[in-house]
């Protein structure tokens, strides 16, 4: 398993909050070249305002809760370490889904990308996911799948069940699931799951499972879009104990892989009852947006194929796509 750490993250981890350090001293601490250091400072200054850059020096005005790449690797179970070919830990990247190094993923192997900040994080239907620097968990697990192996649409739902269970261990109340890919906590959006599938030149498929979780609530809604969004929710506001972001990141990656394996072997049936017990929309009045059409009804759960069931004045409908939001009375 190869671990690659972004020089920008190494730079931040080498700074002591409140201490002013000359650029020369920082090059000695990090073994960075002058150009790499300059590029790192420029990139961090754009996204992390607590990094002060007086002439010829650096000063960190806050103590960010940074990920620990080595600790992350050590927290992964051994059964995973033999399957993960590469782990990339970024201070800043466009998106962990696009930052995955496809060349590192051999047949039936995996790659992981984690970032402290994404400049172009995405959700479903092209929406933008935003979270403050080191204030969330942004990660992707990519799996290379042999040509011809089917990916069932219910995988997203299965991963949601597994991740909700992982997060419950750290929270004072349970995480709920909003069809098809949102994690809900205390009537707010805690995070989301984005599953993408692409075909490689050899005919194999690349499955990328991206996850974004709020550790600290953003000042505005984390997800952009035309439809009114749920208010943001965050782990720290409902935590039962002091949170270790590195530990939770390792648990989320493990949960994704475990859900993928179990879903591949046993299908969605083993997850369905758990999903139903966490169904945020069940028995709620909803609006369903399909293309240009808007329908109103009551959500009544999911069927065996993962479709959302909604009763309307015209009868029951089953949704495999589209947008659904709660309609307040």
Q: pLDDT tens, 133-191?
A: 999 999 999 998 887 777 788 999 999 999 999 999 999 999 999 999 999 999 999 99
pLDDT given for residue 62 in this prediction: 87
The residue range of the domain holding 183 is 69-275
- 58-67 residue pLDDT tens: 999 988 899 9
| 32 pLDDT above the threshold of 50 | yes
CA dist 144 and 199 (Å) reads 10
| DSSP code string of 191-257 | EEEEEEEEE-TTS-EEEEEEEEEESS--SS-SB--SSPPPPB--GGGGBSS---HHHHHHHHHHHHH
- Please give the tally of structural domains in the chain: 3
CA atoms of 136 and 269, how far apart (whole Å) = 31
Does residue 113 sit in the same domain as residue 169? yes
Residue finishing a domain among 235, 257, 275 = 275
pLDDT of residue 229: 65
Last residue of a domain, one of 60, 91, 107: 60
Amino acid 104: pLDDT: 72
Q: What is the mean pLDDT of the chain?
A: 90
Residues 80 and 182 in one domain: yes
Q: Is 318 helix (H, G, I), strand (E, B) or coil?
A: strand
CATH number for position 40: 1.10.10
Q: Same structural domain for residues 293 and 267?
A: no
Span 181-240, pLDDT tens digits: 999 999 999 999 999 988 887 788 889 999 999 999 886 655 545 444 689 999 999 999
Task: Give the pLDDT of residue 228.
Answer: 46
pLDDT digits (tens, 9 = 90+) for 54-113: 999 999 998 889 999 999 999 999 999 999 999 999 999 999 999 987 777 887 789 999
Which secondary structure element, helix H or strand E, spans residue 71, and what is its range?
helix 69-75
Sheet of 84-93: strand order equals 2-5, 84-93, 110-118, 136-145, 205-214, 188-199, 182-185, 176-178
Same domain, 49 and 149: no
- % of the chain at pLDDT higher than 70: 93
Rg value, the chain, Cα = 21
Instruction: Find, among 151, 121, 152, the residue nearest to 135 by Cα.
Output: 121
pTM over 0.85: yes
Enter the tokens of residue 122: 């995405």
Overall size of the chain counted in residues: 329
Q: Which of 60, 77, 99 is the last residue of a domain?
A: 60
| pLDDT tens for each residue of 263-274 | 999 999 999 999
Q: Which two tokens stand for residue 264?
A: 């591949």
In terms of domains, do 6 and 145 share one? Answer: no
Tell me: do 74 and 220 sit in the same domain: yes
The answer on 310 and 199 residing in a single domain is no
Provide the 10 A C-beta neighbour count for residue 28.
12
Residues 80 and 171 in one domain: yes
Q: Is 95 helix (H, G, I), strand (E, B) or coil?
A: coil
CB atoms within 10 A of CB 131: 25
On whether the CB atoms of residues 222 and 189 are closer than 8 A, the answer is: yes
* pLDDT for 227: 44
């Amino acid at each position: 398993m190869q671990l690659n750490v972004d020089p920008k993250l190494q730079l931040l981890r080498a700074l002591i909050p409140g201490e002013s350090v000359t650029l020369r001293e920082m090059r000695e601490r990090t073994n960075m070249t002058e150009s790499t250091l300059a590029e790192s400072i420029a990139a961090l200054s754009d996204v992390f305002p607590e990094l002060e850059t007086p002439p010829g020096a650096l000063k960190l005005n806050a103590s960010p809760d940074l990920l620990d790449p080595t600790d992350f690797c050590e927290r992964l179970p051994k059964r995973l370490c033999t399957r993960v070919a590469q782990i990339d830990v970024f201070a800043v990247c466009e998106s962990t889904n696009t930052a995955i190094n496809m060349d590192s993923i051999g047949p039936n192997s995996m790659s992981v990308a984690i970032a402290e900040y994404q400049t172009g994080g995405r959700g479903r239907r092209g929406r933008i996911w935003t979270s403050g620097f080191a204030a969330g968990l942004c990660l992707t697990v990519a799996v290379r799948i042999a040509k011809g192996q089917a990916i069932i649409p219910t995988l997203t739902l299965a991963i949601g069940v597994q991740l909700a269970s992982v997060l419950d261990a750290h929270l004072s109340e349970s995480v709920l699931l909003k069809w098809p890919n949102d994690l809900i906590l205390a009537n707010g959006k805690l995070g989301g799951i984005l599953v993408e599938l692409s075909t490689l030149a050899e005919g194999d498929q690349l499955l990328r499972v991206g996850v974004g979780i709020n550790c600290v609530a953003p000042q505005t809604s984390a997800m952009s879009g035309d439809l009114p969004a749920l208010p943001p929710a965050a782990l720290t506001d409902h935590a039962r104990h002091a949170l270790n972001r590195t530990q939770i990141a390792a648990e989320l990656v493990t949960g994704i892989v475990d859900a993928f394996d179990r879903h591949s072997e046993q299908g969605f049936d083993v997850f369905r009852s758990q999903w139903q017990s966490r169904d945020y929309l069940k028995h709620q009045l909803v609006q369903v947006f399909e293309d240009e059409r808007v329908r109103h009804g009551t959500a009544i759960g999911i069927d065996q194929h993962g479709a959302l069931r909604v009763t309307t004045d015209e009868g029951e409908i089953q949704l495999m796509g589209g947008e659904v939001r709660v309609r307040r009375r």
